[in-house]
Structure 1
Amino acid sequence: MFGLILSCFRQLPWPPSSAEAPEIDDDELTQEENSRTPLSCYYPMRVGEVLDHRYQITAKLGCGSRSTVWLARDLHRWRWQSAEYVSIKVTITSGSEDSQIDLDELRLLDRITNANKAYWSYACVRSLLDHFYIHGPAGRHLCMVFTPLREPLGLAKYHWENEKISLALLKVIAQQLLGGLDYLHSQCQVIHCDISDNNVILSIAEEVRNKIPDDISKDEWMDPSPVKHLADRTLYSARHDFGPLYPNIGGIVITDFDQSVGGEVDWDRNHDCQPEGLTAPEVILRVGFSYSADIWNLGALLCGMVEGKPLFDDASRKEHGTEFSEALSFARMIAILGPPPQALLDRGERVADFYDEEKRFKFPELIPKDCSFETFFTRVEGEDKEKLIAFAKRMLKWLPEERETAKELLGDEWMQ
Structure 2
Amino acid sequence: MFARRLVRSPQLPLHTPGLIPRCAKVTRSISGSSFLQPREFPSSGFEVIDPSQRVEEEKLPFYRSDDYYPMRIGEIIQDRYQVVAKLGYGTGSTVWLSRDLKGRKYWALKVHTRTSQRNCELNVYRHLGGIDSEHPGQENVRRLHDSFTLKGPDGEHDVFVMTPLGMSLRTLQDMQENNAFQQDLVTTALDQVLLGLGYLHESDVIHTDLHSDNLLIAITDDSILSTVEESEVHKPSARKKTDDRIIYVSQYMLGGVGPLTVCDLGQARIGGEHRGNAMPMQYRAPEVMLNMPWGNAVDLWAVGLLAWDLLQGESLFGVYSRESTEKNDAHHLAAMTALLGPPPPEFLRKSEETSRYWDNNGQWRGPVPLPPERKLETLVSRVEGEDKDMFLNFIRRLLVWYPEDRPTSMEAFFHPWLRGKSS
User: TM bucket by the smaller chain?
Assistant: 0.7 to 0.9
Over aligned residue pairs, what C-alpha RMSD do you find? 2.4
Q: CA deviation at 1:313?
A: 2.4
| Aligned counterparts, 1:6-405, within 5 A | 6-7=32-33, 9-35=34-60, 36-77=62-103, 83-94=104-115, 98-100=116-118, 102=119, 104-113=120-129, 115-116=131-132, 118-186=134-202, 188-204=203-219, 206=220, 208=221, 210-240=222-252, 242-243=253-254, 248-264=256-272, 269-313=274-318, 325-348=328-351, 350-355=353-358, 360-363=363-366, 366-405=369-408
- Give the gaps of 5 or more residues in structure 2: 1-27
Q: Identify which range, 24-33 or 112-121, moves more after superposition.
A: 112-121
- Which amino acid letter does the alignment assign opposite residue 52 of structure 1? Q
Query: Residues 93 and 113 of structure 2 are in contact (CA less than 8 Å); yes or no, is this contact kept in structure 1?
Result: yes
Which deviates the most, 107-116 or 131-140?
107-116
Residue 306 of structure 1: CA displacement? Answer: 1.3
Residue aligned with 1:85, SS: strand
Kept in 2, the 8 Å contact 1:285–1:348? The answer is: yes
3-state DSSP of counterpart to 1:253:
strand
1:355–1:174 CA distance, 2 compared to 1 (3 A):
same
* Residue 157 of structure 1: how far off its partner (Å): 1.3
Q: Secondary structure at the match of 1:235?
A: strand
Provide the secondary structure at the position in 2 that maps to 1:111. Answer: helix
In 2 relative to 1, CA 216–322 (structure 1 residues): closer, same or farther, beyond 3 Å?
farther
- Name the CA distance, whole Å, in 1 between partners of 2:410 and 2:357: 33
Mapped contact 2:330–2:368 kept (Cα < 8 A): no
Please say which of residues 212-221 and 340-349 is displaced more in the overlay.
340-349
The unaligned stretches of length 5 or more in structure 1 are 78-82
Structure 1 CA distance for aligned equivalents of residues 133 and 81 of structure 2: 25
Quick check: 2:51–2:242 contact (8 Å CA) kept in 1? no
TM norm structure 1: 0.88
In structure 1, how many angstroms separate the alpha carbons of the residues matched to 2:55 and 2:302? Answer: 30
The Cα of 1:335 is off from its aligned counterpart by 1.6
Q: TM-score, normalised by structure 2?
A: 0.86
What secondary structure, in the 3-state scheme, does the structure 2 residue paired with 1:362 have?
Answer: coil
Matched residue type, 1:17:
P
**Deviation at 1:28?**
2.2
Rounded Cα–Cα distance in structure 2 between residues aligned with 1:164 and 1:146? 30
Shift of 1:75: 1.2
Q: How far off its partner does 1:182 sit?
A: 0.3
Sequence identity (%): 32
- Structure 2 contact 312–380 (Cα < 8 Å) conserved: yes
Number of residue pairs matched? 390
Q: What is the letter of the counterpart of residue 339 of structure 1?
A: P
**Structure 1 stretch 278-287 or stretch 322-331: which is displaced more?**
322-331
Question: Equivalents in 1 of 2:394, 2:301: separation in Å?
Answer: 12
Query: Retained in 1: the 8 A contact 2:70–2:246?
Result: yes
Tell me, what secondary structure is at the counterpart of 2:276?
Answer: coil
Please give the alpha-carbon distance, in whole angstroms, between the structure 1 residues aligned to 2:379 and 2:368. 20
- Alignment partners' CA distance in 2, 1:133 and 1:218: 28
